Structure 1
Amino acid sequence: MSRQNLIEDPQYTPEKVAARAKYPIITAKDAAKNNTMPVAVKMLVREFIDDSLYHPHYGYFSKQAVIFSPETDFDFERIRDNMQFLDIIAEKYKEIEDDMDVRDEIARQVWHTPTELFKPWYGYAIAKYIVTEYKLNNYPHKDLIIYEMGAGNGTLMLNILDYIQQFEPSVYERTRYRIIEISKKLAQRQGERQEVRDVTKRHGCVEVINKSIFEWDTPVPDHCFFLGMEVLDNFSHDLIRYDSVTEEPLQGMVAIDEDGDYTEIYTPVQDPLIQRYLTIRKQSGYKSPVLSRRFLRRLRNRLPFAPNMTAPEFIPTKLLLLLETLKNYFPQHRLVLSDFYTLPEAIPGVDAPVVQTRYSGTMVPCSTYMVMPGMFDIFFPTNFELLRDIYQQVCRPSLGMEKSVKVQTQKQFLERYGDLEKTRTLSGENPMLMYYENNKMFLS
């Protein structure tokens, strides 16, 4: 059996292997040219996930996802405790989901973010950080320019600008806010958020750019803050395994046969992006957990029917593309990121994603990412410490680590910049600190 195959399986018959060898390799961009799902093709894992999430016709974010956003802000000072807050959220969720089930034939998934649950106070904390850093380094000689990638409903944009307008009017006069949004629907919604406001509360400094950050090609020489809040988790990853004897990395691909069935296959790494990522990661000194315990692995290799590849490992190649985009087109950026660093119920593998869908009002986790495109959310944890090291090499090679990047928990960030009295319940509990304990902040 070839070392590209993991186990003996009916899917790996000589006839099927020969047929798959002739399948053309396509990308998510190729698949986007058609409204139907591709068959008789092969795709790198990141391209398959990209297609599942972002295809303009059947992708998950094109038809499934709905961002939970309460019509009115929560009055935490009138809420008894965290349990009552949970009950209130559950009731509002049920109202939204029941309404969608009545209107829609498909079961949409509602998901929430700290920006929406704790508005405007979470956005105010981000704004306070940005203004503090801006005043320390650029005020009053340069404008405050903010780019936000993937702005969802536009809530964070409104909260940040409201804060600056109210508490920092002299800074507000020099503020410009630009949203980079891949979704046409969300870009439209972000613009509409301003239109429903009173004229005196609209922000004329906002520009919405309906474009993928991965297609950005305009140099931005200005000093700017670049925000990505809860967007990294949906950046597609590649999948690699290592030959259990030689430790050669192998790139994962998904073969889609004529019937639309999926098979995971492995070949030696040839993709330039995977090669770049592995080279940069190696320079950081990172050692993959799947390559630990070499002695035990060699002993196991001598056993009958031993696997000829290591456990799977998911690598954030699209995240590397973001860093390269920042380096090439936003050389004077300050990066602000927030996302999950660990996730429950992930599929097997190092830095593996959670794959889930909603069924009858219940979230159902899956055991593989090879699911029908568009029907499932696929989201990943971020190894922020490894991200810091790779960011240092790509974007800030001339600066010392301690001067370049800070990684801290979201709770630590909010304890410093948040107005905690505004999110404290009658019992003294603070849901803004208690929720999203598996989130970290990345500040460059």
Structure 2
Amino acid sequence: MRKIIGLAVVATIASSSYASDVKTNVYGYIEGYVEQVEETPQRSGGTSTAEGDVSKKANAHEFDTPNVNLMVKSRKGDKYSSYLNLNASGETVQTRNAWVEMKLKQDLLKFRIGKLYRPFGLYNERLDAVPTYIGIEPPELFDGDHLLLTRTTNMLLHGEMDLSGNTLRYSLTTGNEERKSGEVPVGGDIRYTHVGMDSVLLVGTSFYFSNTAAPTKKVGEGSPDGGVVNWMKEDDYKVLGLYLEYTRNAFKFQTAYYEANHDATRDGSKLQSIGTEKLNDEQIRRLCNGNMSTCADSEVNYMVKTWYVRTGYSFETSLGEVTPYIQYDFYENPETIAEKKDGGDNEAGIADDGAFTKQTLGVVFRPDSQLAIKLDASSHSQEIDGSNETYSEVRSSFSYIWSL
């Protein structure tokens, strides 16, 4: 924390010495978080030929500071800009974003390079700005346990066009990401915003082509940074999605659907290193023809699907703004396991079909425009050993926007 405060002071001093046509803003977000998860299903006692037993695991409540961000935004005249986003939620300061941008043809075409969040749907570029949106957890496609693709990239061409008071925005991206060698991954996002008398409608589509990609993590190193799971030799996947946001006065409605089609090659030696204790019979059959100890390389085609609906309504009280909200998330990935350290997912990975739903009810209280206090509760539902299992979790977030 002292490191990031020091950086903020340096940034402030530096900004005061710039030329008069350089405008610099220093600001950030701090979030405190607490979560309690009910006893969750877990699988134990599995073998290479038979599925294990399902038991309940008790979970301790968890405190965290997932967002401690310093952000520096600078602009020189109307043509050049830069952005720095540092996060000190862990033991070290991490660079979330660091990019520079130049206008090539006014707002119609801009060039950005560095490390940046890709334009992709409604949430990827704004997840760090916790106080500004309804809900606490991200949509499942941006859940760190099962990312649909990498959140960051390195180069962006983008722009916007005015259409009689409405706006068309478009972007193309590429970067290092998960490429195996010299491949060129390509992503894009197109969105149209229609502004009415008392409403705003935004519709858009996002796409991504990985070309030949490789895992970012080894088996045993935790969740992957993108869509290629740890036990693959290589993967060529494509992501396509549609999204919509409708705002009318104090009412907001959001929905999105995404699917990722994978054409991959499993690495038999990596699969042999995965223990069978938390695998079910279907996973063992699918991954290694029923016996993990004799795994060989194999080709696999599979699809990951996810969609969500989020809606909320804001109203003013004498104490501040209150926004009740509801959310519904669906996620399905047949090529997953429960063990997170091996690249799996302890939500979808314990289900028979790799699918689960999550229903959330919550409220945001904003006593001030810079402060958001959020409380919500979720219920997970999935099929385990042929029966429907549910468990719940309660979480709270206290977040603050600061500026110098």
Shorter-chain TM-score bucket reads: under 0.3
TM-score normalised per structure 2: 0.25
Q: Per residue, is there more helix in 1 or in 2? A: 1
Q: What TM-score do the two structures reach when normalised by structure 1?
A: 0.23
Higher relative contact order (CA 8 A, sep 6+): 1
Between structures 1 and 2, the one with greater strand share: 2
